[in-house]
């Protein structure tokens, strides 16, 4: 029972999980392989997430969202990623990186102007932090914005931006007099363009491009929060981002365990189902145990992540632990399936490709190790 309370703490969480699981099985799973092969986002399917009320899941009810917590966000990412982590990544970039961050930091006028359109899915959003010369070292960003009358003039390039191709609006971090500031940049801002689609190994159900700012004129009314407030927005939102990325790894691992268990029973070799062989049992059992551990950690941390709770230790730990679990369990599932696991006919090779991104995006494993060491040392200073 305690197990269930961790994953579905309220009836609303349980209903949300059942709804997303049904939607995933019926609508997301059948299209996953096709959009992976094409390398594009299924925009009509994405807009269905808006109809279901999922795009503003963490936005307060008074702002038109569902007003739900980090556990609910984890549930959606967990369930969607059982079928299509690539599609789920587009959801994450929109709902967590844009909508959640924007709703927490924007003023009333900005919220009234933008939230209805991004919660419905009419506008697809994303977030621009990484630059060609600055990834984990985010403070080293070189994109600048200079005040010129009623506009800021922005110059620079952001790269590896999920939803770059389909997105209409982006939260962009740029330095104003050396201070990192958050801007809302949309396609109506002169001087803003996006590059070609950047092709990638996995997560191909979502797209990625550069955001290019060439004397881009961003209205002063599009500054989010205070000038210099960008770092706070960024750090606050990174916790939910990392947590939901961890949930995606859990979804991948869950699906791969299910595939291994079934295949182990059905596939016969040397006259016996292959799950009678100790080598296969090790993959299945170790995969299950690792998945459950990652799941418990992720949901446990989710209880303490929110707009008013800082839990960088928890969210870094969850992603640091869960991301390799997703990758390893996908690898083991492929090993159990042998040649069929390597073929595009089955979902394992796609999940295997998707899983790797989670060791890189939203913070590399090494950045989590750096943060954890720093934060844990700060908690236990040597006097």
Which residues of the shown chain bind another protein in the complex (CB under 8 A)? 11-12, 14-16, 18-19, 22-23, 51-54, 57, 61, 66-68
Q: Which is nearer to another protein, 70 or 154 (CB)?
A: 70
153-188 in b/e form (b: 16+ CB < 10 A) is bbbbbbbbbbbbbbbbbbbbbbbbeeebbbbbbbee
The distance of closest approach from Cβ of residue 66 to another protein in the complex, given in angstroms and rounded to an integer, is 5
Q: What is the DSSP letter of 54?
A: -
The distance of closest approach from Cβ of residue 12 to another protein in the complex, given in angstroms and rounded to an integer, is 6
The distance of closest approach from Cβ of residue 45 to another protein in the complex, given in angstroms and rounded to an integer, is 13
The distance of closest approach from Cβ of residue 351 to another protein in the complex, given in angstroms and rounded to an integer, is 23
Confirm if 181 and 173 have CB atoms less than 8 A apart.
yes
Q: Which is nearer to another protein, 1 or 382 (CB)?
A: 1
Q: Which is nearer to another protein, 54 or 330 (CB)?
A: 54
Grouping H, G, I as helix, E, B as strand and the rest as coil, residue 47 is helix
Q: Which is nearer to another protein, 16 or 218 (CB)?
A: 16
DSSP 4-43: HHHH--SHHHHHHHHHHHHHIIIIIHHHHHHHHHHT---H
DSSP 336-356: HHTHHHHSTTSTHHHHHHHHH
Which residues face 161 on adjacent strands? 209
Q: Which residue has the tokens 């795009």?
A: 55
Q: Please state, as a whole number, how many other Cβ atoms lie within 10 Å of the Cβ of residue 51.
A: 10
Distance separating alpha carbons of residues 304 and 41, to the nearest angstrom: 32
Distance separating alpha carbons of residues 221 and 274, to the nearest angstrom: 63
The distance of closest approach from Cβ of residue 202 to another protein in the complex, given in angstroms and rounded to an integer, is 27
Q: Which is nearer to another protein, 16 or 260 (CB)?
A: 16
The distance of closest approach from Cβ of residue 38 to another protein in the complex, given in angstroms and rounded to an integer, is 25
Number of residues written out for the chain: 383
Is residue 241 annotated as a catalytic residue, yes or no? Answer: yes
Which one is catalytic: 131, 241, 349, 359?
241
Confirm if 214 and 193 have CB atoms less than 8 A apart.
yes
Contacts of 4 (CB under 8 A, 6+ apart): none
Give catalytic residues, as residue numbers.
241
């Amino acid at each position: 029972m305690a197990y269930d309370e961790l994953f579905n703490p309220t009836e609303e969480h349980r209903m949300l999980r059942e709804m997303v699981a049904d939607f995933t099985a019926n609508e997301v799973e059948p299209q996953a392989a096709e959009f992976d092969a094409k390398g594009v986002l299924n925009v009509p399917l994405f807009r269905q997430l808006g109809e279901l009320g999922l795009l503003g899941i963490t936005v307060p009810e008074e702002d038109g969202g569902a007003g739900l917590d980090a556990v609910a966000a984890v549930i959606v990412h967990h369930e969607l990623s059982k079928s299509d982590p690539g599609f789920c990544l587009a959801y994450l970039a929109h709902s967590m990186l844009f909508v959640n961050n924007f709703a927490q930091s924007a003023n009333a006028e900005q919220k009234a102007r933008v939230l209805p359109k991004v919660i419905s899915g009419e506008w697809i959003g994303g977030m621009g932090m990484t630059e060609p010369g600055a990834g984990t070292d985010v403070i080293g960003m070189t994109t600048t914005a200079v005040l010129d009358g009623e506009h800021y003039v922005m110059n620079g390039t952001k790269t590896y931006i999920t939803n770059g191709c389909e997105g209409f609006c982006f939260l962009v971090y740029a330095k104003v007099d050396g201070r990192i500031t958050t801007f809302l940049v949309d396609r109506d801002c002169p001087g803003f363009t996006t590059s070609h689609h950047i092709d990638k190994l996995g997560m191909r159900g979502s797209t990625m491009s550069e955001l290019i700012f060439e004397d881009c004129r961003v209205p002063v009314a599009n500054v989010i929060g205070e000038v210099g407030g960008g770092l706070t927005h960024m750090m606050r939102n990174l916790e939910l981002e990392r947590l939901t990325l961890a949930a995606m790894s859990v979804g991948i691992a869950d699906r791969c365990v299910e595939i291994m268990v079934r295949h182990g029973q059905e596939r016969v070799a040397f006259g016996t189902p292959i799950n009678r062989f100790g080598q296969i049992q090790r993959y299945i059992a170790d995969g299950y145990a690792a998945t459950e551990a990652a799941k418990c950690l992720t949901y446990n941390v989710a209880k303490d992540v929110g707009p008013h709770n800082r839990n960088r230790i928890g969210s870094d730990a969850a992603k640091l632990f869960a991301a390799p679990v997703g990758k390893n369990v996908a690898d083991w599932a492929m090993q159990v399936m042998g040649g069929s696991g390597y073929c595009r006919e089955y979902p394992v090779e796609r999940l295997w490709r998707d899983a790797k991104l989670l060791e890189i995006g939203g913070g590399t494993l090494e950045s989590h190790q750096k943060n954890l060491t720093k934060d844990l040392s700060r908690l236990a200073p040597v006097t």
